[in-house]
C-alpha cells in the first residue's frame, strides 16, 4: 500500500550568488536521483555538501540553476500550491503563539480545509503528546517539539514527506526513540520520504535506500539498498549486517571521492566564509 508520488531529480545543479565572488558557490552539480512512490530514501553527506539545498529544491524553496526537479511529473511549486507536501526542519519552526494542537492544525487552516480533529487527535496520540495538546511549544522539551513538528508534517497526508535533520538537535537516546517512532508512523502510511541526516545508523534503520553525497559541489557518490525487512526492531542495529553497512557508508563519507572525480574542474571555491 505504497502512498505518495515519485520524486525525479534530473541532472540538477544549483549555484548560489556570493558577495565578492563572480562565480558564486556551486552547491550541487549534475545530481540525478529517482525516488519511487512510497520509497523512503535517506541522504548522507559531509556538512556543507548540499543536502539541505537538495531538499529545498524538492520543496520548491529554491529553483535549480540547471536540470530539473519534479514530483509525480509536476513542478514542485505546483505540488506545494495544492498543499501536498509535508516538511520538518532541524529547527522545529513551531509557532510560539499557538498551542501544540493548533500548531498541528495549522496546515489545514493554511490549505483552507476543515480541520480534521480526529486526524489531529490520532497523530497527537501517535507521537505521544496526548497530555500536551494545550501546551505551548516553549513548555515542551526539544524532543517533544520535534515530534510535534513531525505530526504537523504528516497531518495533511502529504504525497511527499521532506525531513531535514529533524532529530539533529537531540541527544542519542531520544534520537533513537524518535527513530523507532518515526518508523512506526511511516509504516502506517508509507509516504514517499526524503530524510536528510548525519547519522549513518539513523539512515540505515529508517530508509529503503541510502544515498551518500560528496563534498562541495555536491553529487551522489554511493547508493546502498537497505536489505532489512520491515518492521525493523532496534535489535537490527546490533546485527552483523548492520555493522558492515555502517562501516561501508562511514568509509564512503570519510573519503570524499572514492570513485574517479567528475570533470568539475576549477568550479569549486577554495574557501567560503559563512
Partner 1 sequence: MEAAASKRPLLLRLVEDYWGILLLLLAWQLWVVLNRFNPIVMPTPVAVLGDLVDHPMVYVRNVGITLAVAAFGLIAGMAVGTGLAVAAWFSPVASGLLNPLTVLFSSVPVVALIPVIARLLGYDTSTVLAIVVIITFFPSFVFASSGLRSPPPGSEDLFRVLGASRLSVLWRLALPAAMPNLAIAFKLAAAHAILAAMVAEFLMGTSGLGYLFAKTKSDFQTEQAFGASVVATVISATAFLLAGLVEKRVRARYA
Ligand X SMILES: Nc1ncnc2c1ncn2[C@@H]1O[C@H](COP(=O)(O)OP(=O)(O)OP(=O)(O)O)[C@@H](O)[C@H]1O
Rule CB under 5 A: which residues touch Mg ion?
A: 52
CB of 140 to Mg ion, least distance (A): 23
Footprint of partner 1 (CB under 8 A)? 56, 59-61, 80-85, 87, 89, 91-97, 106-107, 109-112, 156, 162
DSSP 3: -
Residue 2, SS3?
Answer: coil
49 touching ligand X, by CB under 6 A = yes
53 touching ligand X, by CB under 6 A = yes
Residue 121 binds which of ligand X, Mg ion, partner 1, none (CB < 5-8 A, kind-dependent): none
Residue 135 binds which of Mg ion, ligand X, partner 1, none (CB < 5-8 A, kind-dependent): none
Residue 162 binds which of ligand X, Mg ion, partner 1, none (CB < 5-8 A, kind-dependent): partner 1
Could you tell me if residue 260 is left (phi over 0), alpha (psi between -120 and 50 degrees) or otherwise beta? beta
16 touching ligand X, by CB under 6 A = yes
Question: Can you tell me the distance from the alpha carbon of 85 to that of 89, in angstroms, rounded to the nearest whole number?
Answer: 13
Which residues sit opposite 181 in a β-bridge?
none
59 touching ligand X, by CB under 6 A = no
CA-wise closest residue to 158 among 78, 109, 87: 87
Question: Can you tell me the distance from the alpha carbon of 262 to that of 29, in angstroms, rounded to the nearest whole number?
Answer: 10
Contacting ligand X within 19-48 (CB under 6 A): 25, 27, 45, 47-48
Residue 147 binds which of ligand X, Mg ion, partner 1, none (CB < 5-8 A, kind-dependent): none
Question: Can you tell me the distance from the alpha carbon of 181 to that of 164, in angstroms, rounded to the nearest whole number?
Answer: 17
Whether the Cβ atoms of residue 118 and residue 126 lie closer than 8 Å to each other: no
Determine phi and psi for 10, rounding to 5 degrees: -120, 105
Q: Which residues bind ligand X (CB under 6 A)?
A: 16, 18, 25, 27, 45, 47-53, 216, 272
Amino acid at each position: 500500500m505504497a502512498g505518495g508520488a515519485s520524486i525525479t531529480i534530473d541532472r540538477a545543479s544549483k549555484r548560489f550568488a556570493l558577495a565578492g565572488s563572480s562565480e558564486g558557490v556551486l552547491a550541487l552539480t549534475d545530481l540525478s536521483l529517482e525516488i519511487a512512490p512510497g520509497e523512503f530514501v535517506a541522504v548522507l553527506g559531509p556538512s556543507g555538501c548540499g543536502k539541505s539545498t537538495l531538499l529545498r529544491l524538492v520543496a520548491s524553496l529554491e529553483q535549480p540553476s540547471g536540470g530539473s526537479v519534479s514530483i509525480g511529473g509536476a513542478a514542485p511549486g505546483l505540488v506545494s500550491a495544492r498543499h501536498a507536501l509535508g516538511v520538518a526542519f532541524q529547527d522545529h519552526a513551531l509557532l510560539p503563539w499557538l498551542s501544540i494542537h493548533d500548531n498541528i492544525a495549522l496546515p489545514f487552516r493554511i490549505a483552507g480545509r476543515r480541520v480534521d480533529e480526529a486526524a489531529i487527535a490520532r497523530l497527537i496520540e501517535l507521537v505521544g503528546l496526548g497530555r500536551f495538546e494545550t501546551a505551548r511549544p516553549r513548555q515542551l522539551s526539544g524532543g517533544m517539539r520535534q515530534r510535534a513538528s513531525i505530526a504537523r508534517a504528516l497531518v495533511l497526508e502529504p504525497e511527499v514527506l521532506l525531513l531535514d535533520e529533524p532529530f539533529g538537535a537531540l541527544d542519542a537516546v531520544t534520537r533513537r526513540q524518535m527513530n523507532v517512532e518515526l518508523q512506526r508512523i511511516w509504516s502506517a502510511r508509507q509516504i514517499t520520504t526524503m530524510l536528510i541526516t548525519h547519522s549513518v545508523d539513523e539512515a540505515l534503520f529508517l530508509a529503503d535506500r541510502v544515498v551518500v553525497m560528496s563534498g562541495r559541489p555536491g553529487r551522489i557518490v554511493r547508493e546502498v539498498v537497505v536489505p532489512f525487512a520491515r518492521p525493523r526492531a532496534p535489535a537490527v542495529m546490533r546485527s552483523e549486517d548492520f555493522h558492515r553497512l555502517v562501516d561501508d557508508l562511514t568509509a564512503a563519507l570519510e573519503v570524499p571521492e572514492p570513485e574517479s572525480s567528475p570533470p568539475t574542474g576549477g568550479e569549486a571555491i577554495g574557501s567560503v566564509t559563512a
